[in-house]
Amino acid sequence: KQEVTQIPAALSVPEGENLVLNCSFTDSAIYNLQWFRQDPGKGLTSLLLIQSSQREQTSGRLNASLDKSSGRSTLYIAASQPGDSATYLCAVMNSGYSTLTFGKGTMLLVSP
């Protein structure tokens, strides 16, 4: 059974810092990995989707990398802003199954 772990569970940083969120998964046979953002009381918003054949994806100040062999992905946020405060979740699509397995998220707080 696929297990997805996100470290740290919570992170507090001052505005302007570059930061890295980590996601690890136990079964490396995946189709893709997706990073989401969730604001309090809201649904999840897709940030980046990395296919298994890709090493990274970039969108604005966000960069996500994928290392299938080691079962790891990182989400890099450059020059963090208070508006980046949210919970970030990663989810893995497994090759042998047809559903996503979610991590429990990293709660990020960026202070002005």
Partner 1 sequence: DAEITQSPRHKITETGRQVTLACHQTWNHNNMFWYRQDLGHGLRLIHYSYGVQDTNKGEVSDGYSVSRSNTEDLPLTLESAASSQTSVYFCASSAGSLNTGELFFGEGSRLTVL
Rounded CA-CA distance 4/23 in Å is 7
Q: Are 61 and 71 in contact, with CB atoms under 8 Å apart?
A: no
* Residue number with CB closer to partner 1 (71 or 103): 103
Rounded CA-CA distance 88/105 in Å is 5
**Interacting residue with partner 1 among 66, 89, 92, 110 (CB under 8 A):** 89
Site string for partner 1, 23-62 (x = CB under 8 A): --------xx-x-x----xxxxxx--x-------------
> CB count, 10 Å around CB of 31?
15
Interface residue list for partner 1 (CB under 8 A): 31-32, 34, 36, 41-46, 49, 89, 91, 93, 98-100, 102-105
